[in-house]
């Protein structure tokens, strides 16, 4: 039996990873027969975005190690950001022309949410290298291609930076395709490691603080709780899904219901003025229809998710200073707060070392979590003085 995207009863023919991706894709694409990747950035916006993205620093490595071998094999390479937005596409000329008919081009969004199962989208969703043969794509418009892809991370902090892809005929999923991508990614990450951590991107501080801030390497600016809520929701949405929020969506996330759009517009006007007045935020513009930020910000909550996804629990604990905007009652923030707290707890419980579990127990939200305490007692060495401290904590 062959799996067919619009016939769910056939999906059992897929391997488990592909089947999970098709299930995720079906939540976002109503009609796989007509789905086409959206092109979000025109030439001017794309050039500006690429000029700021950290992958620009290592594009010459991909050009040298991947582009020419790909072109010689009739393939193309695609380098995308952490949302799946393609920044560079190059390689064999005839394959490039065919790829444009499926919107595989710079500025197009190739996340699972945007176009369903593909190697770039799956690599970002699973945080590992994947290969997708022609009819394993969820959208019919992509069935003419096969592809292999792997994620790339910032070696300084484990942050997911983007994805590296090979696309074309069956040679794109040959045995050597993924190792070739891995080698190029390793070389790029090694180069990034000797470069300083990018401090030009504004940092949004929201975890464990009642005084949220926008800051960079040299200065910081205080935010009101409402402005911090708006910036957090927009930054999270843009990074995770590559798109903004409508007035109705943002209104519901902030106020718990639609119908507050007039109040929201007033608040957005105040936020625009604030961004213009704070030195650390002057590079950020607030666009509308939908509401979105002109550039990504380094949201501490997202950094926790990225490091956990990369398997770096220690860095996640470094970044997690406590609950997300703890004083916020906005429904959208409460939901993100719960997601983040649950993800951290479950990851530490299932995979954490004794030291990591101990560190987690120093957080206010977990100090009396008996399941975590019992897990720590199971994994800590018998002679550890921390065991006595935990027993005393339980006896209070």
27 — pLDDT class (breaks 50, 70, 90): confident
The per-residue pLDDT for 219 is: 66
Residue 363 lies in a domain: yes
The answer on pLDDT for 72 being more than 70 is yes
DSSP 255-281: HSSSS-HHHHHHHHHHHHHHHHHSGGG
**Same-domain pairing of 113 and 135:** yes
- pLDDT reported for residue 88: 92
* Average pLDDT of span 207-216: 88
Tell me which of 194, 229, 245 is where a domain ends: 194
Give the Cα separation of 92 and 178 in Å (integer).
18
pLDDT at 199: 54
Say if residue 143's pLDDT is above 60.
yes
**246-276 burial code (b ≥16 CB/10 A, e <16):** ebebbbbbbbeeeebeeebeebbeebeebbe
Quick one: what percent of the chain has pLDDT higher than 70?
A: 92
In a domain, 241, yes or no: yes
Checking if the pLDDT of 216 tops 80, the result is no
Q: Are residues 255 and 359 in the same domain?
A: no
Same domain, 79 and 150: yes
The pLDDT score that the predictor gives to residue 197 is 59
Tell me, what's the pLDDT at 137?
A: 85
Q: Is residue 57 part of a domain?
A: yes
158 and 24 together in one domain: yes
> Domain check: are 165 and 311 in the same one?
no
Is 213 within the bounds of a domain? no
Query: Which residue, of 246, 273, 296, is where some domain finishes?
Result: 296
**Judgement on whether residues 188 and 270 belong to the same structural domain of the protein:** no
Neighbours of 279 (CB within 10 A): 12
Do 53 and 163 reside in the same domain of the chain? yes
* Three-state DSSP state, 86: strand
Q: Is the pLDDT of residue 237 over 60?
A: yes
Would residue 108 count as lying in a domain?
Answer: yes
Q: What pLDDT score was predicted for residue 10?
A: 66
Helix H, strand E, coil C: the string for 9-77 is HHHHHCCHHHHHHHHHHHHHCCCCCCCCCCECCCHHHHHHHHHHCHHHHCHHHHHHHHHHHHHHCCCEE
Instruction: Evaluate whether residue 212 is within a structural domain.
Output: no
CB-neighbour burial class of residue 147 (10 A; exposed 0-12, middle 13-18, buried 19+): buried
Q: How many residues does the chain have?
A: 396
Tell me phi and psi for residue 204, to 5 degrees.
-100, 115
* Residue range(s) defining the domain that contains residue 288: 218-296
Q: Which residue has the tokens 């050009």?
A: 63
Separation of alpha carbons 233 and 172, rounded Å: 37
CATH number of the domain at 272, please.
1.10.10
In this predicted structure, the answer to whether residue 373 has a pLDDT above a threshold of 70 is yes
pLDDT in tens, 91-132: 999 998 888 888 889 988 888 888 888 899 989 888 889 999
The reply to whether 141 and 175 lie within a common domain is yes
Asked if 327 and 353 count as a contact pair (C-beta separation under 8 A), the reply is no
**Structurally, how many domains does the chain consist of?**
3
Average pLDDT of every residue of the chain: 85
Tell me: the pLDDT tens digits for 155-206?
Answer: 877 778 899 999 988 898 888 889 999 999 999 988 887 776 555 578 899 9
Domain of 118: which CATH number? 3.30.450.40
**Within this chain, do residues 85 and 151 fall inside the same structural domain, yes or no?**
yes
Regarding whether 369 and 230 lie in a shared domain, the answer is no
Q: Is 210 domain-assigned?
A: no
CA distance 81 to 213: 25
User: Quick count: other Cβ atoms within 10 Å of Cβ 349?
Assistant: 15
At 87 the three-state DSSP class reads strand
What pLDDT, in 10s, does the model give residues 322-348?
A: 999 999 999 999 999 999 999 999 999
284 and 313 inside one domain: no
Judged by phi (left if over 0) then psi (alpha if -120 to 50, else beta), residue 325 lies in left
Average pLDDT, stretch 71-90?
91
- Tell whether 19 and 141 lie within a shared domain: yes
Q: Is residue 22 part of a domain?
A: yes
Which of 296, 318, 336 is the last residue in one of the domains?
296
């Amino acid at each position: 039996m062959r799996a067919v995207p619009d016939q769910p009863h056939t999906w059992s023919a897929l391997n488990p990873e592909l089947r999970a991706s098709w299930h995720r894709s079906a939540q976002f694409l109503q009609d796989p027969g007509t789905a086409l990747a959206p092109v979000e950035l025109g030439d001017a916006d794309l050039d500006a975005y690429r000029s700021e993205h950290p992958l620009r620093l290592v594009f010459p490595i991909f050009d040298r190690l991947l582009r020419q071998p790909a072109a010689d094999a009739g393939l193309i390479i695609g380098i995308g950001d952490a949302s799946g937005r393609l920044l560079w596409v190059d390689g064999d000329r005839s394959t490039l022309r065919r790829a444009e008919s499926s919107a595989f081009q710079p500025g197009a969004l190739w996340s699972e949410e945007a176009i369903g199962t593909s190697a770039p989208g799956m690599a970002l969703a699973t945080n590992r290298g994947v290969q997708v043969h022609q009819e394993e794509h969820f959208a019919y418009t992509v069935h003419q291609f096969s592809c292999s892809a792997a994620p790339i991370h910032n070696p300084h902090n484990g942050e997911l930076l983007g994805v590296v892809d090979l696309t074309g005929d069956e040679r794109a999923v040959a045995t050597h395709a993924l190792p070739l991508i891995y080698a190029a990614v390793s070389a790029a990450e090694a180069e990034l490691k000797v470069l300083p951590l990018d401090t030009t991107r504004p940092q949004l501080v929201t975890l464990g603080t009642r005084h949220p801030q926008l800051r960079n390497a040299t200065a910081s600016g205080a935010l009101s709780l409402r402005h911090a809520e708006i910036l957090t929701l927009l930054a999270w949405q843009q990074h995770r899904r590559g798109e903004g929020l409508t007035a109705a969506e943002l209104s519901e996330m902030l106020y718990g219901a639609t119908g507050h759009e007039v109040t929201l517009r007033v608040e957005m006007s105040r936020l625009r003025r604030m961004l213009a007045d704070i030195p650390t935020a002057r590079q950020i513009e607030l666009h509308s229809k939908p509401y979105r930020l002109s550039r990504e910000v380094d949201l501490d909550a997202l950094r926790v998710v990225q490091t956990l996804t990369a398997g770096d629990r220690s860095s996640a604990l470094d970044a997690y200073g406590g609950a997300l905007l703890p004083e916020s009652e906005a429904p959208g923030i409460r939901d993100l707060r719960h997601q983040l707290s649950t993800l951290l707890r479950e990851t530490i419980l299932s995979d954490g070392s004794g030291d990591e579990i101990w560190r987690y127990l120093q957080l206010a939200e977990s100090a009396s979590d008996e399941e975590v305490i019992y897990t720590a007692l199971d994994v800590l060495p018998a002679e550890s003085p921390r065991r006595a401290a935990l027993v005393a904590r339980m006896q209070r």
